[in-house]
């Protein structure tokens, strides 16, 4: 799941465009900027650089001038000079983020993820309110397997804006990857509340409950996943898992009264257990729709029927199991069971 989140989030988080960078304006643009920007808009990048240099020689230096010169260099793919120009702009306005955002775009264009992360970190250190940048930084750390650094950035966003993008899911996945299922639980819960139709979130939540051995909680999450997912590849496995969880639930209900002489308690537990077996039966049938010859589904359905005191109904299921099973040992056990059920039926 760790690989899954990195792949899904990285593309969305790092789609920085020139429009995104333009949201940060230099503090001081100066009178020279319109002329240089006009040349850039016309695609005359070298002329823009030459004009910027003339202003620098005339000591007409501003943050905006160096940013414009950096943009012109960047358009020509001259990244070293572009970055150097942006850094000159930073010197003139250390608390500004416009030059750094442009510098980050240089590293993105070069696919230099370590330097991109380093530059985005400088941005959020200056302006902690930039949630989009912090989110991109967290995803970059995740991509570089700097899990603790990623977690720190995600949680900074979560503190003030838990509904921001996929941050709740991202934190949950990190804790899941660290086998800290209890810590992951509230984040997945929040993610599911924000995106109740997101099958990936619901599946992650269900898996987290399974790993944490909270089987009763896993059932509704996985059922919700099945209700919304369009991924046919996952449906059989998750349907079978839900059926098995209901079987396990029934066993857990009966365990405390196994040796009890309290008839009322036993009867109550037996009724609740049969309800769980009935739910398991529903999902074994759904699995058989998807996989008509599934040995797991046939065996599970037969067992559920037997536990519901419907052994005769289990006979055709067990006979179908005999036809599809490839295990001689299992076929022998099932054959013996069929004989017992048939003999019991004749006695009645």
Bigger pLDDT: 334 or 16? 334
Instruction: Check if the beta carbon of residue 98 is closer than 8 Å to that of residue 24.
Output: yes
Position 185 in a domain: no
* pLDDT on residue 32: 66
Position 243 in a domain: yes
Position 297 in a domain: yes
Position 309 in a domain: yes
Domain count across the chain? 1
Position 237 in a domain: yes
Determine which helix (DSSP H) or strand (DSSP E) holds 19, and give its type and residue range.
Answer: helix 18-21
List, for residues 46-72, the tens digit of each pLDDT value: 999 999 999 999 998 999 999 999 999
* pLDDT on residue 33: 73
Q: State the residue range of the domain holding 313.
A: 232-348
DSSP 8-state secondary structure symbol assigned to residue 255 = G
Instruction: Check if the beta carbon of residue 28 is closer than 8 Å to that of residue 93.
Output: yes
Give mean pLDDT, residues 175-191: 96
Mean pLDDT rounded to a whole number for the chain: 90
Position 318 in a domain: yes
In angstroms, the CA 91 to CA 68 distance is: 15
In angstroms, the CA 212 to CA 189 distance is: 14
Query: Which structure tokens are listed for 344?
Result: 């019991």
CATH of the domain at 328: 1.25.40
Indicate the range of 12-26, 214-228, 314-328 predicted with least confidence.
12-26
Q: At what angle do helices 181-194 and 199-211 cross, to 10 degrees?
A: 160
Bigger pLDDT: 3 or 47? 47
DSSP string, 178-202: TT-HHHHHHHHHHHHHH-TT-HHHH
Position 271 in a domain: yes
Position 341 in a domain: yes
């Amino acid at each position: 799941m760790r690989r899954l989140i990195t792949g899904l989030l990285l593309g969305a988080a790092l789609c920085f465009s020139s429009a995104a960078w333009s949201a940060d304006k230099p503090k001081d643009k100066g009178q020279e900027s319109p002329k240089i920007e006009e040349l850039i808009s016309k695609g005359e990048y070298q002329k823009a650089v030459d004009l910027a240099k003339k202003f620098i020689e005339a000591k007409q230096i501003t943050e905006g001038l160096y940013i414009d010169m950096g943009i012109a260099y960047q358009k020509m793919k001259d990244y070293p000079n572009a970055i150097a120009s942006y850094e000159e702009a930073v010197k003139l306005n250390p608390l500004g983020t416009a030059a750094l955002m442009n510098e980050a775009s240089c590293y993105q264009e070069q696919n230099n993820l370590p330097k991109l992360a380093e530059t985005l970190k400088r941005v959020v250190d200056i302006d902690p309110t930039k949630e989009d940048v912090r989110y991109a930084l967290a995803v970059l750390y995740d991509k570089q397997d700097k899990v603790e650094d990623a977690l720190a950035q995600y949680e900074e966003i979560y503190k003030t804006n838990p509904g921001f993008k996929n941050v709740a899911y991202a934190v949950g996945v990190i804790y899941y990857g660290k086998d800290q299922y209890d810590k992951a639980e509230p984040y997945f819960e929040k993610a599911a509340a924000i995106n109740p139709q997101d099958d990936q979130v619901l599946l992650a939540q269900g898996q987290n409950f399974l790993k944490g051995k909270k089987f009763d909680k896993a059932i509704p999450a996985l059922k919700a996943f099945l209700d919304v997912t369009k991924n046919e590849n996952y449906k059989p496995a998750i349907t079978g898992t839900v059926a098995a969880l209901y079987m396990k639930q029934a066993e857990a209900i009966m365990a405390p009264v196994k040796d009890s002489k309290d008839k009322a308690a036993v009867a109550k537990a037996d009724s609740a257990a049969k309800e769980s077996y009935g739910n398991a039966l529903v999902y074994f049938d759904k699995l058989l729709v998807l996989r008509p010859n599934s040995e797991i589904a046939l065996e599970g359905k037969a067992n559920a029927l037997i536990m519901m005191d419907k052994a005769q109904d289990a006979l055709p299921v067990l006979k179908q199991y005999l036809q599809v099973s490839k295990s001689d040992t299992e076929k022998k056990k099932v054959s013996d069971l069929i004989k017992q059920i048939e003999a019991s039926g004749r006695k009645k």
